[in-house]
Structure 1
Amino acid sequence: MITVPLDTILSQALAGEDLSPDAGVALLQAQAPQELAAIRTVANRLRQRQAGDTVTYVVNRNLNFTNICEQHCSFCAFRRDADQPGAYWLTLETMVAKVADGVARGATEICMQGGLNPAAQVNGSSLAYYCEMVRAIKGAFPQIHLHAFSPQEVEFIARQDGLSYAQVLAQLQKAGVGSLPGTAAEVLSDRLRRIICPEKLNSATWLEIVSTAHRLGLPTTSTMLCGHIETPEEAIAHLDQLRQLQITAQTYPARITEFIALPFVGEQAPAPLRHRVGRDQPDLGASLHFMAVARIYLGNWIINHQPSWVKLGLEGATLALDGGCNDLGGTLMEEHITTMAGAKGGTCLTVEELRGAIATCHRPAQERTTLYQPVTPVLTPS
């Protein structure tokens, strides 16, 4: 571990340098109030330099098409077995109807993810089923951007059908998928994954699938499940691997569009994990600290940073706009996965609510597309 003073590390960041992992760990380990304030101040200055003052948001609708899942992640309260009470699997007609509702409310994006349901097949093929879903939605609403299927879902389809990740991604892209959510990353530490999600794909596979998507021209987002039992070293190693992905993607037609910190919500998690974490709801101060460090560590390469209002509440998420974040996420319209884990932030926000929160920061607001292209003119606070 380096012993470089914190102000020297922050000066290096303001000079435009990429910090070393040791420097990132030092930032995460800072605890004194004046140190935390200095980190947030630097993160805010870098946000202004890298992303500007305008706070963006997207009008989108979540579509969680099934909660039937073969896996048993220790932090998930969403998944069900097929014969368990509360299990569901939407028909194509219901999915299209939900998309129609989103489009009628102004959505430009459908974010579609679901459980890993072994029965979700057409003629014995998982890929055929997923492509059928995509074609049904894009056939009815060709203008909608489908932000769909995590690397875990890609791995599941490939494993079910005996295909390569590239084959799966290419067919999903051909069917109409426009980008991939960078979820299922949790923390890219196999030590930690063996504890919290032992059945999920390993770190190397997540990285391989995301990099393959970039190579094929499919943009992705990136995430990290933070604030549970990860060490500072594991958290920074996760950010470092995202940074390396983005550096590699310079030669590819697509890249990571944003980083989203996902603070742990443990209210419905199994007792052993809840006990180890020691709380049911996110620690707002620690979450804001992590997001500031993420901006400092990643901002040269991943420009857009977003808090989770579902996990932190809109007020908490708005505080992150003064500590490194430049985007407030989406309207969602319907949210199940985090809410079922015990999150208190809600399941839907209106455009007016998002703009109202941005106005409290005295910053301009602008609706964007999934890929951060402007939809509306910048709305300047009065």
Structure 2
Amino acid sequence: MIATQESFDPWAWRTSEVVLAPQAFESPDGSGTQAPWNDELQQQLADHLAVSPSSAASLDLADRLLAQPATELLRQQADQLRQALVGETVTYVVNRNLNFTNHCLQHCSFCAFRRDPGADGAYWHSFDTLQERAAEAVRLGATELCIQGGLNPEARLQGSALRYYQALLEALQQAAPGVHLHAFSPQELLFIAQQDRVPLQAVIDGLLASGLGSIPGTAAEVLDEAVRARLCPEKLSAREWCAVVLQAHRSGLRSTATLMAGHLETSRQRAGHLLTLVALQQVAWQHSQAGFSEFVLLPFIGAQAPAALRQRVGRDQPDLPAMLALTAQARLLLGRWIVNHQPSWVKLTLAGATEALRWGCNDLGGTLMEESITSAAGALGGTAQSVEALRAAASSLRRPVRERTTLYGLVPACF
């Protein structure tokens, strides 16, 4: 296997160090006793972000914001900013989730999805099965297929992991012509490169040639090495995640941005994560790339997590008031840099996600049609939503609602 940094273009590896916010252990956490967030502080934060999001001063201000409690004032501030940036319309996408295998060589402390080959509940779907599901999704009106899986070292074609993943995309294109392929996290992209001992750019170029449309920004968890050492020590590092995203964006691929919160992290570590997202978006925009398409908050689900982690976290389901506060805080911090914000109805339930629309969100995500990863963790939100249910959720708040594409465009009437 080639050395880690040799997987990346030199510019991406250098820049990945620059965009990472200062690690939170350098300063103590906490500003919760300070005065409520106000317009003056918001402007100070915006000024700092415009100059240097990855600075200690930016981190101090962002931490102060992320230590704010879930008050009506915080909700109103986030809701007003949402309205100013994206208006009143709530959007959603008709999509299908395809988790093609749960065979995985990593052992993340929070994951109830992974299986060893041959273990109870292990699966690796054939292309025929995935094509059938893709074709069914088209019949049900899907414009997107979201494709992710475990890190399966046996997923090879003619000895190559890249050829397997290319063939997977091509098979889905054949079964669902014209559908947007939103596939493969930064972790999966780096895994393919390492399996084949080729540069990451060769993987990105090969997948683009086979129909890749955009990538999910999962596997980020919290972009802080102290947290990752306890939560997912086998996963790619925070710096590696940033380097993959930098190269994907520079190649013209848009991605989502995520934060998995509500476990072992502090407000300061959350703040550093969000500041890193801003810095990455700035790099994309400086090079005339669109960068991140949306921000998705992923509350931690611990119902099926290992006992040691469950005990440390102290809850099996998300703390809704805390996640609503973080929803508002993320809207205020990310500001104009990432304007589309989406809650997870799988993790919060549809009722919780609907409430999040009042705390800064403007999108309800996708119909999914099936979901394996979060449901395996013990989430209560279900595995699918109908278009009617998503539209009714937005309408219950007297907000207009419309279907969108993966990249927030209008759905063609002839699709």
Partner of 1:93: 128
Match of 1:28 in 2: 66
Shift of the 153–6 alpha-carbon distance from structure 1 to 2, 3 Å rule, reads same
Q: Residue 273 and residue 137 in structure 1: after superposition, are their counterparts in 2 closer, same or farther (change >3 A)?
A: same
The answer as to 2:349 corresponding to 1:349 is no
Task: For 1:259 and 1:134, locate their aligned partners in 2 and report how far apart those are by CA, in whole Å.
Answer: 25
CA contact (8 A) 2:45 2:62 kept: no
SS at match of 1:322: coil
Deviations 1:288-336 (A, max 9, x none): 0001000000021000000000000000011111111000100000001
Long gaps (5+) in structure 2 = 1-26, 49-57
Report the alpha carbon displacement of residue 7 of structure 1 after superposing the two structures with TM. 4.6
Contact 1:25/1:232 (CA < 8 Å) preserved in 2? yes
Question: Separation in 2 of the partners of 1:166 and 1:304?
Answer: 28
Distance 1:18 1:146 in 2: 37
Question: Partner letter of residue 89 of structure 2?
Answer: T
Q: Distance in 2 between matches of 1:306 and 1:49?
A: 17
Specify the SS of the correspondent of 2:123. Answer: coil
Looking at structure 2, the residues matched to 221 and 122 of structure 1 have their Cα atoms a distance apart, in angstroms, of 28
> After alignment, is 73-82 or 12-21 more displaced?
12-21
Once the two structures are superposed, the pairs formed by residues 137-286 of structure 1 within 5 Å of their partners are: 137-250=172-285, 251-286=287-322
Aligned-residue offset at 1:26:
1.4
Structure 1 pair 8–90 and aligned structure 2 pair: CA distance change class (3 A): closer
The 1:324–1:18 alpha-carbon spacing in structure 2 relative to 1, beyond 3 Å, is: farther
Which one-letter code corresponds to 1:56 in the other structure? Answer: T
Instruction: Name structure 1 gaps, 5 residues minimum.
Output: 378-382
The secondary structure found in structure 1 opposite 2:250 is: helix
CA distance in structure 2 between the aligned counterparts of 1:16 and 1:84, rounded to whole angstroms: 50
Q: Tell me, yes or no, if the aligned pair for 2:143 and 2:179 is still in contact at 8 Å.
A: yes
Deviation at 1:49, TM superposition (A): 0.4
**Could you tell me how far 1:264 is from its partner in structure 2?**
0.2
Q: Which residue does 1:79 correspond to in 2?
A: 114
CA distance in 2 between counterparts of 1:8 and 1:317 reads 24
TM-score, with length taken from structure 2: 0.87
Q: CA deviation digits over 1:89-111, x for unaligned, max 9?
A: 01011110010111111000000
User: What is the deviation of 1:11?
Assistant: 3.7
**Aligned with 2:294: secondary structure?**
strand
Q: CA deviation at 1:14?
A: 6.6
Which of 362, 367, 381 is equivalent to 1:331? 367
Separation in 2, partners of 1:125, 1:10: 54
2:9 aligned partner? none
Aligned-residue offset at 1:253? 2.8
Residue 299 of structure 1: aligned partner: 335
For 1:115, give the aligned amino acid.
G
Q: Give, in whole Å, the separation in 2 of the partners of 1:174 and 1:367.
A: 28
1:54–1:363 CA contact under 8 A, matched in 2: yes
Instruction: Give CA deviations for 1:126-167 in whole Å, capped at 9, x if unaligned.
Output: 000000000111123221000000000001100000111111
Q: Which residue of 2 aligns with 1:17?
A: 46
The answer as to whether partners of 1:310 and 1:345 remain within 8 angstroms in 2 is yes
TM-score, normalised with respect to structure 1: 0.94
Query: 1-side partners of 2:389 and 2:214: how far apart?
Result: 26
With over 3 angstroms needed to count, the CA separation of the structure-2 counterparts of 1:96 and 1:46, relative to structure 1, is same
Tell me, yes or no, if the aligned pair for 2:94 and 2:142 is still in contact at 8 Å.
Answer: yes
List 4+ stretches of structure 1 deviating above 2 A. 1-21, 139-142
How far off is 1:59 after superposition?
A: 0.3
Q: Which amino acid aligns with 2:272?
A: A
Residue 112, structure 1, aligned to residue 141, structure 2? no
Alignment pair present for 1:290 and 2:326:
yes
Q: Which amino acid aligns with 1:28?
A: L
Distance, in Å, in 2 between the alignment partners of 1:8 and 1:266 is 31
- Aligned residue in 2 for 1:54: 89
Q: What displacement does 1:248 show?
A: 0.6
User: Do the aligned partners of 1:216 and 1:254 also contact (CA within 8 Å) in 2?
Assistant: no
Conserved 8 A contact 1:55-1:364: yes
Q: Contact 2:37–2:74 at 8 Å: present in 1 too? A: no
Greater displacement, 135-144 / 322-331: 135-144
Shift of 1:17: 2.5
Amino acid aligned to 1:280: D
Taking only the aligned residue pairs, the percentage that are identical comes to: 52
